[in-house]
Amino acid sequence: MVRPRILVVGSFVKDLIVSASRFSERGETVLGTGFRMATGGKGANQAVEAARVGARVTMVGKVGDDAFGRDLVGACEESGIDCSGVMVDPENPSSVGNVQLQVGEDGSTENRIIVVPGANMTITPEEIAFLETEIGQFDMVLLQLEIPMEINELVAEYASRKGVPVMLNTAPSDQVGEKLLSRLTYLSCNEHEALDLTGIAIRKTPEGVCEEDVRQVIARILEKGVQNVLVTLGTDGAAFGNKESFCLVPTLTDIHSVDPTGAGDAFIGAFCTFVSMGIDNTSAIRMANYVGSLTVSVMGAQTSLPTLEQVGQLISQRGEEDLCRLVEEVKQCVEEKGE
């Protein structure tokens, strides 16, 4: 087992989070029950989680020359992430996310999010050209869709030339070109993004999701040239497939969800770290499920992202001895091969 070097090229977003007992209707004003701010962005969230479960992480992205930008970069640096490749835009503001949380009487939550891209969408090919020579030092590259598509395509091209695996998280949902898809080692999507990618709706049954629908989604994406497909299914767990194998891994039960913000990012950051360490796909998903479950049990995005120690404690409490052994191996790897 080796401690991986992971490159995240992606977004920074300052989350402005409002809680209320219900979402407002059109033209209606609803009094909220709480407000707070948090550092986020799909790229930054995935980078922070990868670092917290053991990876050496480098983050490349762009923020505005403002207080939010300084907060966003500082939060990543506090998690040990190399942010020397983060750029500052003097003309455009840092991205902000309007997060609305509907909190039920039973404590259950739903969220609605609007992201204003700001500096995230001003990254240019010239600004990331340095990665063409540096990308070969990494064990995996993580991409999302909160930065310009041409930047994702260029980074994937650089990585492909050097034989570096690439994970694309297709969020927020957008059209992804065939050239980019053909260069992906991993693609991760949720069921809504899967529908946009394939036209196949994953139906629900009394027993859970329709496995045949999930298999069809994965097969359709594999046809586009992607090597491995990961479909996150919320409370129904996650599915993984490639040309040789398929698995549907259930989620954890009896987890009290406080705030789902950032759970998908946490899952992906952890999964990529674990598979980069040589852990098999199914075990990596099972471990990432614990990461996602811990994330939803705490308010906020990055503030809720768990450490490897916390993940190990929950796995131990659930008595999954094989995963306990893997966590101990990861800990030993990180300790032996730390900076």
Q: Which residues are catalytic?
A: 265
Burial (CB count <10 Å: 0-12, 13-18, 19+), residue 261? buried
* Cα 169 to Cα 187: distance, rounded to the nearest angstrom: 6
Q: Which residues pair with 100 in a beta bridge?
A: 18, 112
257: nearest Cα among 92, 106, 147 = 106
Tokens 């479909």 belong to which residue? 231
Distances (CA, A) of 228 to 50, 187, 217: 19, 6, 12
Strand order in the sheet with 96-103: 34-40, 13-20, 96-103, 109-116
192: nearest Cα among 223, 227, 217 = 217
Residues 6+ apart with CB under 8 A from 40: 12, 13, 14, 15, 97, 261, 262, 301, 302
